[in-house]
Structure 1
Amino acid sequence: MAVAERERFYECEVKRRRVRATGGYEPFWKVKTIAEALEDNDTEFRCKSCGGAVKLFKRRSEDGPATHIEHKLKSDSEYCAEGLYFLKATDGRQPRPSSSPVH
């Protein structure tokens, strides 16, 4: 029996804060590798291509898959330029932003 193909992304956007010129802080999204994000204790992630919600999968053993993220919603994967379902589609669809983006 073949193992099911899974999405695996190793980069994402993480929510950060920076000082606003007028004072206070403002949120912004920064592209990082998953390893960097975990090392920096980041907690909010989204897909760097479509802005959709992602879930984090940590490596559980030495011979297991590397720590990575996958789209939470199949609809995001179907229309994200990096999504597994988008890449396998043969209907000529065009990539688009997530219908439920993470802000």
Structure 2
Amino acid sequence: MAAAEREQFHVCQVKRRRVKATGGYEPFWKVKTVAEALEDADTEFRCKDCGGALKLYKRRAENGSAAHVEHKLKSDSEYCPSGLHFLKATDGREPRPSQFPVR
């Protein structure tokens, strides 16, 4: 029996901080590969296309799949232009931002 097809992203947005011109810090989102985000110990992730929440999967074994992220919500995958369910849809749906974006 074949394994179920799973959504896998290797690029996402991570939340970072930068110094504001007026002093203090401000948050911003930066696009990174999942491998880079893990190396940099980033902790907040979101989809670069829809802004939805993602679940992180770290590489568990040397011969296992590479570190990646997947949408937490099926509804995000159904309407994200990179989502597995969106790409498989045949009903002509239009992409849209997540209904529950990570801010």
How high is the TM-score relative to the length of structure 2? 0.98
Residue 93 of structure 1 corresponds to which residue in structure 2? 93
Amino acid at match of 1:29: W
Aligned residues with identical type, % of pairs: 78
Residue 13 of structure 1 corresponds to which residue in structure 2? 13
Aligned residue pair count? 103
Q: Which runs of 4+ in 1 moved over 2 A?
A: none
> 2:60, 2:41 → 1: CA distance?
18
> 1:53, 1:100 → 2: CA distance?
8
Over the residues paired in the alignment, what is the CA RMSD in angstroms?
Answer: 0.6
Amino acid at match of 1:23: G
Alpha-carbon offset, residue 8 of structure 1: 0.4
Residue 81 of structure 1 corresponds to which residue in structure 2? 81
Greater shift after overlay, 9-18 or 54-63? 54-63
Q: How does 1:29-44 map to 2 (within 5 A)?
A: 29-44=29-44
* Structure 2 residue ranges without an equivalent (≥5): none
